[in-house]
Chain A
């Protein structure tokens, strides 16, 4: 009886969704064509990066702000607990530790490659930052590093650096008149500079969501 009700409601829901999808009107503006037309002035060759960091850079700037806010809230939720003593970590098997250490180098290389490749193919700051964060989490889970305590100056600078750099570039472009309108001849370099800052900050922010809240030592 319950199963029948679930199936019926799922079918009804699917029907409504499909009916609504079929009713969607066709877009008035052909955005992909518009983006393709403007690629030469964006400073990069990959349309997704061009949209994220040039045409809609304002959205990306706010996104970083939101992620930074999330990290701040995680810090607030954590309170004043000290970091766990690395000696108290459940010691992982030596092969796992060795594997985690051995992957660190290649993961940094992959992150830098993704950052660089973002200019002309899928990749970019978000993906590169996620790889860096995954590296930090892997090192923690393998028992190589402990979780994070209260952030020191270096970590604070790293967490906020990308956002501040982006904001700084945006603000300095105000002198020329419009927020985040890069001069065409320097657009490529500016985007790479912003993305490099974002990669470091995003990696630290994403890792901090994990490492500040990571399992407390058994009390």
Chain B
């Protein structure tokens, strides 16, 4: 078995695992962290599929901006709950 295939299988397994953890985790903060991990793994997957254009967009928008936005949303929800 070549190293490339092993890496692909590992990537696919980690993608499924992080995707599942992102939706199944109870704590929203952890969930977002898993989502960001999923985005970064997805970037690697696009790179492996020789689609660097999509990999760039996924890293910047999927993992970076969306992750930051979700973290900020959690922060806002928490502070709102505290003031009520």
Interface of A toward B, CB cutoff 8 Å? 48, 114, 122-124, 126-127, 130-131, 133-134, 137, 141, 206, 209-210, 213-216, 218-219
Q: Is the CB of A131 within 8 A of B60?
A: yes
Known: A48-B53, A127-B60, A219-B83. A141 touches B76 (CB 8 A): no
Q: Which residues of B contact A114 (CB under 8 A)?
A: 56
A126 to B69, CA, bound (A): 18
Q: Is the CB of A130 within 8 A of B75?
A: no
Interface of B toward A, CB cutoff 8 Å? 52-53, 55-57, 60-61, 64-65, 68-69, 72-73, 75-76, 79, 83
Q: Which residues of A contact B83 (CB under 8 A)?
A: 218-219
Nearest CB of A to B25, in Å: 15
Given A213-B72, A215-B75, 10 more A-B residue pairs with CB atoms under 8 Å apart are A114-B56, A123-B56, A126-B61, A127-B57, A130-B61, A141-B68, A210-B68, A215-B72, A215-B79, A216-B76
Q: Is the CB of A218 within 8 A of B53?
A: no
A137 to B83, CA, bound (A): 25
A219 to B56, CA, bound (A): 38
Q: Which residues of A contact B55 (CB under 8 A)?
A: 122
Closest B residue to A47 using CB positions: B53
Q: Is the CB of B53 within 8 A of A122?
A: yes
Q: Which residues of A contact B56 (CB under 8 A)?
A: 114, 122-123, 127, 130
A137 to B61, CA, bound (A): 12
Q: Which 4 A-B pairs have the closest CB atoms?
A: A130-B60, A122-B52, A215-B76, A127-B56
Q: Which residues of B contact A124 (CB under 8 A)?
A: 53
Q: Is the CB of B52 within 8 A of A137?
A: no
Nearest CB of B to A219, in Å: 6
Q: Is the CB of A214 within 8 A of B60?
A: no
A–B pairs, 13, beta carbons within 8 Å: A48-B53, A122-B52, A122-B53, A127-B56, A134-B64, A134-B65, A137-B65, A137-B68, A209-B65, A210-B72, A213-B72, A213-B73, A215-B75
